[in-house]
Amino acid sequence: MIERVETGERMSKIVKHDGVVYLCGQVGAGESVAEQTTDCLSRIDHLLDQAGSDKEHILQAIIWISDMSYFAEMNAVWDNWVPNSHAPARACGEAKLARDVLKVEIIITAAIKQEGEQK
């Protein structure tokens, strides 16, 4: 069974299927890459919680940044957010994002926590 959460005309914020949660791409507010990444990851935390998962269950992250010169700044925030020993498979590339003010977008796929599982 496929479950779609917060579905609109164009997309769902969350899609769950067969123990896996797929989040739509998340962007954040702020002027700097660090601010946008921090806000983006906070939004991801909220969606994962809503979907019955968390950052320790992330399977894959796809990160788009508008300029590769932002790579180190984005990684500094990312590295502090990812729990030790729980780094997901990850790709990061440069792309023109939907609005000129956006510097980072992150797409997450995660496992849904099983019943009785801690965290």
Query: Which pLDDT value is given to residue 118?
Result: 59
| Predicted confidence pLDDT, tens digits, the chain (119 residues) | 999 999 999 999 999 999 999 999 999 999 999 999 999 999 999 999 999 999 999 999 999 999 999 999 999 999 999 999 999 999 999 999 999 999 999 999 999 998 777 55
In angstroms, what CA-CA distances link 23 with 4, 38, 68, 109? 10, 17, 23, 6
Q: Are 12 and 5 in contact (CB under 8 A)?
A: yes
Q: Look at the pTM and tell me if it is higher than 0.85.
A: yes
Residue ranges and CATH numbers for the domains of the chain are 2-111 (3.30.1330.40)
Q: What local confidence, expressed as pLDDT, does residue 40 receive?
A: 98
Spatial neighbors of 38 by CB under 8 A, at least 6 apart, are 28, 30, 77
